[in-house]
Amino acid sequence: MNAWRFLFRNDRGPVGAGARLLALGLVLVLASRAPAAAAERAGGTTAFSAEAAYQHVVQLAAAIGSRPAGSAAEAAAAEYLASQLASYGYRVEVQPFTIQLYEERGARITPLAADLPPIETAALLYSADGTVRGELADAGRGRAGDWPPGALAGRVALVERGEVSFADKVANVAAAGAVAAIVYNHEPGGFSGSLQRRSAIPAVALDREQGLALRTRLAEGPLAVEVTVDASVLQRESRNVVATRAGTQSCAIVVGGHYDSVPTGPGANDNASGAATVVEVARVMAARPHPCTLYFVTFGAEEIGLRGSQHFVQALPETTRQTVRAMLNLDMVGVGSEWRIAGDEALVAQARAVAAALGVEARFAQAAGASSDHESFARVDIPVLFLHRTPDPNYHSPRDLPEYVEPDALAVAGQLTLGVLERLAAPDE
């Protein structure tokens, strides 16, 4: 069953139920008006506006700022996006879903030897919390069967990264009796990683140099260590913003992009740029006919594992899912020097034709990868098209600011999307 609701907030926090119903009524009134009238209120033009898209980027990344999944800022961004889409005449719903967040407050390795200092490090995402002590054991790469059950009882496993997933490494040494796992890098420098699910024992990440230093010291004689992870798993709510316009034929198209960001930066390019372009494309399409039902969706919680798009796909009734002709995903479209367009063969061919007509050079591929929201649709055999611009030197950093986003790039992303939508309107496409 689709559990969709609309959420409005004011400056003092969540508003009451009566105010929410009034707000929902306002949205439905707006949605009942003619799309052309909505477009006129929104600027009176059916041409894509680079400046309008850029102003959405500024609102999301500068006025609201960093929008981690489940945060108040992410909720504020959803409210902003919903209000914009509703003003164009769409039926707009906010689709909430529960997420689990891993909150780490600190992690440390303390060698129990007078000549070795403590090592401040980071837990692998979803590590168990707690403080444990044990003799250090070189556990290789933590492969299944390397250590029989009980062979590492009471010991702390020192494991090299590589060959086996983080989750399997930690599970394998835990099955052999280890009380904690220290995973060090297989190449120079540090790293971060996820166990995907809560582990049975504390597990931390270490750079290669420190890992090799511990292994060298261990080779000289026994070494006991203490491993501490201070962390917890919290339940929070994220949400998708879904704007819908019914079509006249039994086909549907989804145009989407995530609006959440990583905690470390304001996410102007990743992915206020994509969400802003989706909103501006929706404004343009409000006054353009299309036979298919159009869904314009900004997804929450992409950065923690495509949670929003997964929820959207799961919430679609099977009969509706079978009518979805394409999912167009815009992720990081405002920075860089090269367009990369990938996905289903037929959609890539359509995008290639549109790009040629626009004089846009791009690298085309049929492997879209699994790093963004299109993957949730590809998993259920919905054809996908992924629009992306690269490189971005400020990716996932505090410098992912609006000043680095190019309005002209947003315009190209919008024109490519509109061109593909136009070609998908043809009955034989």
Torsion of CA 65, 70, 4, 6, to 10 degrees: -40
Query: Which of 158, 187, 222 is the last residue before a domain boundary?
Result: 222
On whether residue 227 sits in a domain, the answer given is: no
DSSP string, 55-104: HHHHIIIIII----TTSHHHHHHHHHHHHHHHHTT-EEEEEEEEEEEEEE
Strands (E), 112-223: 119-123, 130-138, 155-160, 180-184, 203-206
pLDDT in tens, 168-185: 999 999 999 999 999 999
Helix (H, G, I), strand (E, B) or coil at 418: helix
281 CB-side CA count, 13 A: 33
pLDDT higher than threshold 90 for residue 303: yes
The pLDDT of residue 369 is 83
Helix (H, G, I), strand (E, B) or coil at 179: coil
pLDDT tier for residue 424 given thresholds of 50, 70 and 90: very high
Provide the residue type at 389 as one letter: R
Same domain, 279 and 304: yes
pLDDT tier for residue 137 given thresholds of 50, 70 and 90: very high
Q: Which domain holds residue 143?
A: 113-222
Same domain, 271 and 388: yes
Strand pairing report for 384-390 and 338-343: antiparallel
pLDDT higher than threshold 60 for residue 18: no
The overall average pLDDT reported for the chain is 89
Distance between start and end Cα atoms, the chain: 31
Question: What pTM, to 2 d.p., does this model score?
Answer: 0.76
The pLDDT of residue 42 is 43
On whether residue 106 sits in a domain, the answer given is: no
Same domain, 95 and 142: no
DSSP string, 332-384: S-SS-SEEEEEE-HHHHHHHHHHHHHHT--EEEES---SSSTHHHHHTTT--E
Query: Distance (Å, rounded) from C-alpha 268 to C-alpha 402?
Result: 5
Same domain, 123 and 95: no
On whether residue 247 sits in a domain, the answer given is: yes
State the average pLDDT over residues 130-140.
97
pLDDT higher than threshold 80 for residue 21: no
Provide the residue type at 428 as one letter: D
Query: Which of 222, 250, 267 is the last residue before a domain boundary?
Result: 222
State the average pLDDT over residues 133-139.
97
Same domain, 77 and 127: no
Query: Which of 222, 250, 270 is the last residue before a domain boundary?
Result: 222
**CATH number for the domain including 117?**
3.50.30.30
Cβ–Cβ under 8 Å, residues 280 and 413: no
**CATH number for the domain including 39?**
3.40.630.10
Peptide bond before 402: cis, by omega within 30 degrees of 0? Answer: no
pLDDT in tens, 34-90: 344 444 444 456 899 999 999 999 999 999 999 999 999 999 999 999 999 999 999
The pLDDT of residue 58 is 98
Number of domains in the chain: 2
Same domain, 210 and 243: no
On whether residue 134 sits in a domain, the answer given is: yes
The pLDDT of residue 427 is 67
pLDDT tier for residue 380 given thresholds of 50, 70 and 90: very high
Higher per-residue pLDDT: 318 or 41: 318
Helix axis angle for 50-58 and 407-424, nearest 10°, is 120
Same domain, 60 and 96: yes
pLDDT higher than threshold 50 for residue 23: no
Same domain, 135 and 282: no
On whether residue 231 sits in a domain, the answer given is: no
The pLDDT of residue 326 is 98
pLDDT higher than threshold 70 for residue 302: yes
Count other Cβ atoms within 10 Å, centred on residue 314: 12
On whether residue 83 sits in a domain, the answer given is: yes
On whether residue 287 sits in a domain, the answer given is: yes
Residues with Cβ within 8 Å of 304's Cβ and at least 6 positions away in sequence, in order, are 69, 99, 101
pLDDT tier for residue 190 given thresholds of 50, 70 and 90: confident
Query: Distance (Å, rounded) from C-alpha 56 to C-alpha 298?
Result: 13
On whether residue 385 sits in a domain, the answer given is: yes
State the average pLDDT over residues 142-156.
94
* Residue 134, token pair as written in the block: 């044990």
Give Cα separations from 130 to 123, 135, 343, 344 (angstroms): 11, 17, 44, 46
Cβ–Cβ under 8 Å, residues 326 and 319: no
Same domain, 209 and 158: yes
Same domain, 290 and 368: yes
- The gap from C-alpha 375 to its chain's centroid, in whole angstroms, comes to 11
Helix axis angle for 345-358 and 407-424, nearest 10°, is 120
Same domain, 205 and 95: no
Same domain, 183 and 96: no
Count other Cβ atoms within 10 Å, centred on residue 408: 10
pLDDT in tens, 239-278: 999 999 999 999 999 999 999 999 889 999 999 999 999 9
pLDDT in tens, 77-124: 999 999 999 999 999 999 999 998 888 999 999 999 888 999 999 999
